[in-house]
Amino acid sequence: MRAWTVLGIETSCDETAAAVVRGGPPGPGEILSDVIFSQLEEHRPYGGVVPEIAARAHVEMLDGIVARALSEAGLTLAEVDAVAATAGPGLIGGVMVGLVSAKALALAAGKPLIAVNHLEGHGFSARLSDGVAFPYLLLLVSGGHCQLLAVEGVGRFRLYGTTIDDAAGEAFDKTAKLLGLPYPGGPRIEALAGTGNPGRYGLPRPMLGREGADFSFSGLKTAVRHLTLEQQVDAPDLAASFQAAVIDCLADRAGAAMAMFRRDFPGRESPAVVLAGGVAANGAIRAALGALAAQEGFALSIPPVRLCTDNGAMIAWAGIERAALGLFDPLDAPARARWPLVTVHPPSRAG
């Protein structure tokens, strides 16, 4: 298998990131550089990501970040094989900044362009880190997404469940806000929960035991809001109670998806389940998924935290997966605010 060297650019939310990765499917890949500028300070005063501020910051930062990614990799643009960038889904202003830059770089250097679906980037990150073979079950939990999918190959995803309202990360962020904690709330809630009593507040577990593998988190968020309005809450206890409820929901839905995966891909000794997306940074969630996987006979794979939150390396790697199949994109490839994984066009060649 030929090794590809790809520059990856990520600008779909509040991280301006670029990386150079070398390798080929099924991975693992070699991360030659991985530069991430987090815009946290820019957005903190507003308690969440402000799209206009994000787009402006990407414009200001991206050139320097790309230059650093190349220099840390010890390469010039002429020495990479292709330029990959997130083309969606995400905040459209930011996506356009990254994609237009990638197009300019590709055009100037005479390199092919790869327009990457951000979710495919998260979804393949365990191949970059561990070379996990297709097919596998993926629990993708981030600030914008909460999905359970069978990943069969490039552009080939089978959706088992998705959130019918909020994403898991969004629930963490909103709960943190109710507790007066700064954005992003996930890491703050996790830290507080570590010292709290998860049995203190009785919170709902939406969708538990329901048919299918869909999620819902808005009822949980509403319950937290009512609690904070009705009484003086103990923040660590509420954080712990909230996190325990999220974990029960994730584990129940993941368990249901494991049964679906076994039905669709029978006869596999120890199928892989991958936990990816920013929420996968949560230690308690990792531990709960580990216990569930052990109980259900699945092998759990979690990329390192740096590859779970938004980064350029996963975009470069998704570019490598596509390049290896000869899947490149024209220079007029569109930036998309919405781009569900199940409509990612399947590869034209067998893969």
To the nearest whole angstrom, how small is the minimum distance from the Cβ of residue 193 to ligand KG4?
9
CA distance 295 to 154: 29
329 near Zn ion, judged by CB under 5 A: no
How do beta strands 146-153 and 156-162 pair?
A: antiparallel
Burial of 193 (0-12, 13-18, 19+ CB in 10 A): buried
> Among Zn ion, ligand KG4, none, what binds residue 190 when CB lies within 5 to 8 Å by partner kind?
ligand KG4
- For the chain, the residue count is 351
- Nearer of residues 96 and 323 to ligand KG4, judged by Cβ: 96
310 near Zn ion, judged by CB under 5 A: yes
**Among the listed residues 163, 22, 159, the one whose alpha carbon sits nearest the alpha carbon of residue 80:** 22
**Among the listed residues 245, 312, 258, 285, the one whose alpha carbon sits nearest the alpha carbon of residue 37:** 312
Which phi and psi (to 5°) does residue 113 adopt?
-100, 145
- Nearer of residues 194 and 297 to ligand KG4, judged by Cβ: 194
Whether the CB-CB separation of 153 and 351 falls below 8 Å is answered with: yes
> Among ligand KG4, Zn ion, none, what binds residue 8 when CB lies within 5 to 8 Å by partner kind?
none
Instruction: Give 46's DSSP letter.
Output: G
Block residue for tokens 């299918």: 212
Instruction: Give 77's DSSP letter.
Output: G
Whether the CB-CB separation of 109 and 81 falls below 8 Å is answered with: no
- Nearer of residues 92 and 109 to Zn ion, judged by Cβ: 92
> At residue 145, what is the residue type?
H
To the nearest whole angstrom, how small is the minimum distance from the Cβ of residue 341 to Zn ion?
12
> Among Zn ion, ligand KG4, none, what binds residue 173 when CB lies within 5 to 8 Å by partner kind?
ligand KG4
142 near Zn ion, judged by CB under 5 A: yes
- Nearer of residues 37 and 172 to ligand KG4, judged by Cβ: 172
> Among ligand KG4, Zn ion, none, what binds residue 169 when CB lies within 5 to 8 Å by partner kind?
ligand KG4
Rule CB under 6 A: which residues touch ligand KG4?
A: 13, 142-144, 169, 172-173, 184-187, 190, 277-279, 281-282, 309-310
C-alpha distance from residue 84 to each of 17, 101, 150, 213, 309 (Å): 12, 10, 24, 32, 18
Which phi and psi (to 5°) does residue 186 adopt?
-50, -55
> Among Zn ion, ligand KG4, none, what binds residue 309 when CB lies within 5 to 8 Å by partner kind?
ligand KG4
To the nearest whole angstrom, how small is the minimum distance from the Cβ of residue 49 to ligand KG4?
9
> Among ligand KG4, Zn ion, none, what binds residue 319 when CB lies within 5 to 8 Å by partner kind?
none
- Nearer of residues 161 and 186 to ligand KG4, judged by Cβ: 186
- Which residue(s) pair with 290 in the sheet? none
- Nearer of residues 86 and 243 to Zn ion, judged by Cβ: 86
Question: Which residues of this chain interact with Zn ion, rule CB under 5 A?
Answer: 142, 310
